[in-house]
Amino acid sequence: MPNRTGSKALLLALLVSTATAAAGADGKLKGIMFGDYYAVLSADDDDVERPPEKRNAFQFRRIYLTYDRSIDDTFSTRYRLEAKDAGFGSGSNMEPFVKHAYLKWKKGLVGADLYLGLSGTPTFLIADKSWGYRPVEKTMLDLNKIGSSSDLGVALKGKSGKLGYHLMVGNGQGKKSEEDNGKMLYGSLSMEAVAGITVEGYADFNMLPADKNQLTIKGLVAVNKEGFRGGIEGFSRTNRGKGAAGADETITGLSLFGTLPLSDSLKGFGRLDKVSNDATDTSDLLVIAGLDHSLSENIHLIPNLYIQMGCCDMPDGPDPNIQARLTFFYKY
């Protein structure tokens, strides 16, 4: 079995061979990078050696390298690597892992595209596009670990008239290997109700051992018209048998977000999330506000303020986590 150094060498060789293939084949190599310079202005933590309110750092939060290639008029393939910062104080290198690796069969079944392999789930795909600021933060469900952005399995994605659908059967382990004999079922139905307004209904069911199944339902209304982009998203997740004395745990959340142009190269945006857990009787608030300055179509500087806090905390409760960030984003 190769050691960690050998594994990294093999991975680097794979990256080089991928880039070489992209240069000489009918394929496309592209990438996305985003990160921040951040400073923690307030936090609640007992780390005496590294007080959280003094933490600041430059970080790459995500780096994606994607290779897309059409095999013929019917089949195409994608291979995507992702790397992320390990966090303040970890002292670890960024290490890439496989995010996507799938074969796409165009109109392969009942007029829909069929995906075989590790592909994107429908859990927050539409919400992510509607929010539009993944470089600043994940969408509400993604941030709170209500599902995964990709899974290994089979997916069907297409449209019938105005109705869009995205159905999937996967392992339910995200990018990790399977560890039980259950599977996860995903389903998203969406449509443009009127011009510029999209509605989505979503549900998933994760079959877990010992009848500890998980059920998620979600609704989204997204608006994109007259320069404004925004929406409202709500969800409910039931974790069977995870609460006290084997009771069910229910997590609910609501997210409001919006973006408004201020000039040709400047936009203002904001977001408010509230997520509650009935098993622990807790609620958390997230507030994000910022400006998006486009240096070019694919290069952005995004100063923003990021605030996490418990809802309606008592005076002696934990301090809010407040960060000032200068987020950068570019793609090529």
Nearest to 29 by CA among 67, 70, 83, 81: 67
Phi then psi dihedrals of residue 39, to 5 deg: -135, 125
pLDDT in tens, 307-327: 999 865 445 566 789 999 999
Which whole-number Å values give the CA distances from 254 to 74, 85, 141, 295, in the listed order? 40, 28, 10, 33
Within a domain: residue 13? no
**% of the chain beyond a pLDDT of 90:** 70
3-class DSSP assignment, residue 145: coil
pLDDT band per the 50, 70, 90 thresholds, residue 210: confident
Domain carrying residue 249: 37-331
Domain count, the chain: 1
pLDDT band per the 50, 70, 90 thresholds, residue 13: very low
Within a domain: residue 196? yes
Within a domain: residue 179? yes
Within a domain: residue 166? yes
pLDDT band per the 50, 70, 90 thresholds, residue 6: very low
Which residue has better confidence, 204 or 1? 204
Within a domain: residue 255? yes
Which residue has better confidence, 114 or 108? 114
Residue 205 in this model has a pLDDT that exceeds 90:
yes
Residue 224 in this model has a pLDDT that exceeds 90:
yes
Which residue has better confidence, 210 or 198? 198
The CATH number that applies at residue 198 is 2.40.160.10
Pairing of strands 266-277, 282-296: antiparallel
DSSP string, 222-249: EEEETTEEEEEEEEEEEETT-SGGG--E
Within a domain: residue 24? no
Residue 34: its pLDDT value, please? Answer: 98
CA-CA distance, 283 to 277, in Å (whole number)? Answer: 6
Residue 280: its pLDDT value, please? Answer: 85
Residue 4 in this model has a pLDDT that exceeds 60:
no
Within a domain: residue 213? yes
Within a domain: residue 20? no
